[in-house]
Every structure is written in C-alpha cells, then in structure tokens.
Amino acid sequence: MSELGKRLGTGLVILSGFVVCNPAMVRAQTVPKPSLAIPSPLASSPTVAEQNALQNLTSAQQENIQTYIRPQLLQAIENNTAATGTFRSWQSILANPGGGATAHINSSAQGVTVQFINSAGSQFTVTPTFREYHPAGSNTASVTAGASRAGSLLRPTCCHPIPPPPQDLDGDGLTDSQSDGEGGLEYALAMEFMPEYFISTGEQQQFASYGNYVPWTVTGLLGTNPPTSRIHVTPLGLGTDQNGNQVYAIRADFLSLWNADGGLVGGGAACFYSYFGLDNVIQQVSGHYLDAERSVMLLAAPPVNGGVNPDATAYRLYSIYTAAHEGTFFDQSEYLDFSTPVAAGNHILLTQSVSKHSTYAFNPDFYPITPAWFIASTNASIEAAYLDGDIDDATYLALLAAANDTFYGCLVERFGNQGGQIPSQATNVGEVDHPIFLQGYIQDNSSAALNLASKLTNPVF
Ligand SMILES: [Ca+2]
Ligand SMILES: [Ca+2]
C-alpha cells in the first residue's frame, strides 16, 4: 500500500459532529471553456507524420534530444526563480480596479469571461482583466513549521476605533458569529459572495472534518455533496476607490479543504518529461495527503464612522484570486480584476479540476498546466536546434509530436461538468493566531500541511 493509501486508511474514521444541512440544489448550467494560445508550429494534435517520426525515433536521435533540447529547458526551469506577473496591492486595485496597463496574463487561456449567478438564479457574464502573479522562488519555498505563527500579517494597522464587538471571537475587529441570524459580518459577507462550486464527475477525494490541533489531521469524511466551505475573513483597512471616495476593504478566503490530492490524472497521451527536463519538477503535481485549495476575494464598501461598514450587502467584489497548483512550477493561479466591481448577492461560478482540485473560473477540461512561457521556450528550443542542424527532419517532427502530447494531452487538467452548488453554510476558521469553531489545524504551517497558516497570513493583494 502506498504511503498515501496508508494515511488515507487511517483517515477513514467516524463522521464527526460537523453539521451538514439543507444541501443546495445542484444547478445544471455549464461554465465556458477558454480558447488556448498554442505557439506555432505546435498544433492541437500531432500530425500523422509527426506521430510516425516519434514512434520511429532511433537511439541516436533520442541522444540528440538529450544533448540539444533537454539541457536548455532544464536551465529554463532553474532560472524560474524570479517573481512573474504583476503584484497589485489592495489599495492599488481599489483605486484602479481594471488595472490598465499594469495588468497582463501569462497563461494559455485566451478570451475568458466569467459567469456569476444572482439571487434570483439568473446567470450573467462579466469580463474581468486576467492577471498572474507568482512570488519569487515560490516553487521551491519550504516554510518551517510554526515559523509564522507569531501573528497575522493582515491585522488592521490603522486607527479607526471600532466599538468593542460582542461577537469578535477571533479578535480581528470584525464580528464573526457563525450564523447569519446572529449578525456576524464575517459570515454574512461570506454568504453574500459565496462561490457556486462545480465539483468534477469522477472525483475520488472528499471534503473532510479535521482535528482542532496541529498537525492538520483528517478526522472524518464529508463527501462532495454539498461542497464544504470554510471561510477566513480579515479586515484590510481604508482605501480610496477610482472615484476618489474612501472605502473600507476586507479580504475573504473561501477554503476548499480536501482529505487528499489524488495526483494529476492527465489526458491519456504519452508524457515525454525527460525530453523537456520536466522530470525534475513533475513530482510537484503528484498526489498527497490533505489538500488546501482556495479562492480569495477583495471586497470593499463605503466606510461607516470612518471604519468597518457593518452591512454585508454594501460590499462589492473588486478582485478574486483563484489558486491552482499554487507555489509549484505548474502554478496556474490567476487574479481576475473587475473594472466595475460586482455587487453583493452575486456568486461567481468556480470549478475544481478532478483529483487536483485546482480552482478556475472556467471549465478546465484539458487545460494545460505547464506555464505558457515554458511551452514557448520548448517550441523555441526545438526550432533553434532544427535550424542549427543539430537535429534532423525526423527528430524535429518527433519533437513536435512529443511536445504536443506532453503539454496538451498529458500535463492537463480534467473536469467533467455535473452542475454547481452554492454551499448554504460555511465554517469560519478564525485567524491563524486565534482559530475559532474548533479549527485549530489552521495553525499548521508545515510543508505536509501545504503551508496552510502562511496561505492565510501572506498577503495576496
Ligand atoms: Ca472577527
Ligand atoms: Ca476573521
């Protein structure tokens, strides 16, 4: 039995007292697929000539690939230690939500729109500015357990007196009762903006309950219907919007905490990791115990008495971060900035790819997870080796087939649409320095816990 299997075996314990009630109706609508930018001469599927060349590669031709293609791409992977994309502070997004010239996208997705559903059940389309940002060296980051438990970096730093709230259980200055009826702003905000989740057909992993302690440990399995949501809501402070008006900003994390990551399923095509140096990083998308997936929203409303606006319906959504293979070489996390902020009561449609649970605002079936810049680098390496005469015609054709198979048929997400649901309840985990509602595992910042504590305390805006 694999290590994962052993650990899952021990995780199959009694269902705890976690309350699941009123499963929302599954909605059968679909989410759109993006078109893909595929660099020429790579095509969406290899030609017959390319396939034949790949099948008939001689050992000498394979040796040439190892000599002229692989080393350059290994170097490209090694050089990928600088931050990519554009980091925008929450103040910057509030002041200029669309982002203008500072925003750009590095992924393969093109022409993506986003779907929302309103409280009347009507779906509508919004066109955001897509943006990527991956911190420097994130794919090699390893945080020591407990290293950042001293306190949240996101505690309010400013100065506006908030009346002592009777129900601020996590001590962050926002009321946070678990039930809407008790008037907690954190919970009310989360329910106003709760995403509609599309869980894939064929999903083998489950949402789970976890022990109120470190290390983060599965204590019960909760299935996938309805999707289990945990929330983390934190004040950011006062900013200025695009019209010069003051607004009060809040960050809301929507956590999808799974019992395990089942590893990349792939698209069924052959994988030629070694040709392209990817054998050095492919383990970053293999399966593991526990899985911490999320989206994070930047919300803001006109301030009341110079501080927090206690009315959840007054907030608007300025930006959302969707995490996918976060912190790995294959990071496909994206920001969607809304030039016209989206009002409360509207719910974005989000998918979770099968087995990996990567979060997207579109249908990710067969979506390539290799960074677009690396696919372009591979294409350029093949072209250069061919034009330099380092590889012959047959090797060139074979490499096009191998690259196509690897990037568009192997290293891809899978997702089967079975409709979506808006979770009708959620559990507020509190803050890392003050967990609430028995969610103490959020203090686990070990690599085995996928640096969960840091995910909640590191700024994403
Ligand atoms: Ca609070
Ligand atoms: Ca909180």
pLDDT interval class at 112 (50, 70, 90): confident
Q: Give residue 192 CA to ligand 1 midpoint distance, Å.
A: 17
Lowest mean pLDDT among 247-251, 293-297, 425-429: 425-429
Ligand nearest to the CA of 435: 2
Instruction: Give which of 259, 211, 204, 208 is closest to 229, Cα–Cα.
Output: 208
Position 135 scores a pLDDT of 85
For 246-278, the pLDDT digits (tens) are 999 999 999 999 999 999 999 999 999 999 999
Whether the pLDDT of residue 159 is over 50: the answer is no
Position 147 scores a pLDDT of 32
Q: Give residue 164 CA to ligand 2 midpoint distance, Å.
A: 15
Whether the pLDDT of residue 308 is over 60: the answer is yes
pLDDT interval class at 181 (50, 70, 90): very low
Position 88 scores a pLDDT of 92
Do 345 and 191 contact (CB within 8 A), yes or no?
no
Average pLDDT over residues 201-219: 98
Whether the pLDDT of residue 151 is over 70: the answer is no
Q: Give residue 458 CA to ligand 2 midpoint distance, Å.
A: 14
Average pLDDT over residues 133-137: 80
Position 268 scores a pLDDT of 93
Q: Which two tokens stand for residue 414?
A: 């899978």
Residue 170 and residue 151: Cα distance in Å, rounded? Answer: 12
pLDDT interval class at 105 (50, 70, 90): low
Tally of domains within the chain = 1
**296 phi and psi angles, rounded to 5 deg:** -130, 130
Residue 64 and residue 396: Cα distance in Å, rounded? Answer: 11
pLDDT above 90: percentage of residues in the chain: 73
pLDDT interval class at 207 (50, 70, 90): very high
Residue 226 and residue 209: Cα distance in Å, rounded? Answer: 14
In a domain, 67, yes or no: no
* Better pLDDT: 315 or 128: 315
Q: Give residue 207 CA to ligand 1 midpoint distance, Å.
A: 25
In a domain, 161, yes or no: yes
Q: Give residue 234 CA to ligand 1 midpoint distance, Å.
A: 7
What are the DSSP calls for 59-122, one per residue?
A: HHHHHHHHHHTHHHHHHHHHTTTS-EE----HHHHHHSTT-GGG----SSEES--EEEE-TTS-
Do 171 and 186 contact (CB within 8 A), yes or no?
no
Residue 44 and residue 40: Cα distance in Å, rounded? Answer: 10
Lowest mean pLDDT among 5-9, 53-57, 89-93, 446-450: 5-9
In a domain, 68, yes or no: no
Q: Give residue 166 CA to ligand 2 midpoint distance, Å.
A: 14
Average pLDDT over residues 178-201: 84
Lowest mean pLDDT among 19-23, 354-358, 394-398: 19-23
Position 42 scores a pLDDT of 84
Angle at which helices 59-68 and 393-404 cross, to 10°: 70
Position 62 scores a pLDDT of 97
Position 25 scores a pLDDT of 58
In a domain, 58, yes or no: no
Q: Which two tokens stand for residue 302?
A: 């006109």
Q: Give residue 427 CA to ligand 1 midpoint distance, Å.
A: 13
Q: Give residue 170 CA to ligand 2 midpoint distance, Å.
A: 6
Residue 151 and residue 433: Cα distance in Å, rounded? Answer: 5
Q: What is the mean pLDDT of the chain?
A: 86
Q: Give residue 244 CA to ligand 1 midpoint distance, Å.
A: 28
Q: Give residue 437 CA to ligand 2 midpoint distance, Å.
A: 12
* Better pLDDT: 383 or 110: 383
Q: Give residue 133 CA to ligand 2 midpoint distance, Å.
A: 25
Q: 411 CB contacts (<8 Å, ≥6 apart)?
A: 264, 266, 271, 278, 285, 330, 368, 369, 370
Lowest mean pLDDT among 13-27, 210-224, 279-293, 330-344: 13-27
Q: Give residue 55 CA to ligand 1 midpoint distance, Å.
A: 61
Ligand nearest to the CA of 169: 1
In a domain, 78, yes or no: no
CB atoms < 10 A from the CB of 219, how many?
17
pLDDT interval class at 48 (50, 70, 90): very high
Q: Give residue 184 CA to ligand 1 midpoint distance, Å.
A: 8
Whether the pLDDT of residue 444 is over 90: the answer is yes
Position 84 scores a pLDDT of 84
Position 166 scores a pLDDT of 52
Residue 275 and residue 458: Cα distance in Å, rounded? Answer: 36
Ligand nearest to the CA of 430: 2
In a domain, 224, yes or no: yes
Lowest mean pLDDT among 100-104, 265-269, 355-359, 440-444: 100-104
Cβ-in-10-Å burial (0-12, 13-18, 19+) of 158 comes to exposed
Lowest mean pLDDT among 8-12, 138-142, 390-394, 421-425: 8-12
Whether the pLDDT of residue 160 is over 70: the answer is no
For 8-37, the pLDDT digits (tens) are 333 332 333 333 334 455 676 778 888 888
pLDDT interval class at 178 (50, 70, 90): low
Q: Give residue 187 CA to ligand 1 midpoint distance, Å.
A: 9
pLDDT interval class at 101 (50, 70, 90): low
Average pLDDT over residues 195-217: 98
Q: Which amino acid would we find at residue 344?
A: A
Q: Which two tokens stand for residue 354?
A: 């099968």
In a domain, 53, yes or no: no
Residue 77 and residue 122: Cα distance in Å, rounded? Answer: 44
State which residues have CB under 5 angstroms from ligand 1, the bound ion. Answer: 168, 170, 172, 174, 176
Selection from 3-12, 162-171, 431-440 with the highest mean pLDDT: 431-440
Q: Which two tokens stand for residue 199?
A: 């869980």
Ligand nearest to the CA of 172: 1
Position 182 scores a pLDDT of 54
In a domain, 75, yes or no: no
Ligand nearest to the CA of 433: 2
Ligand nearest to the CA of 431: 2
Residue 112, domain extent = 3-41+87-369+416-457
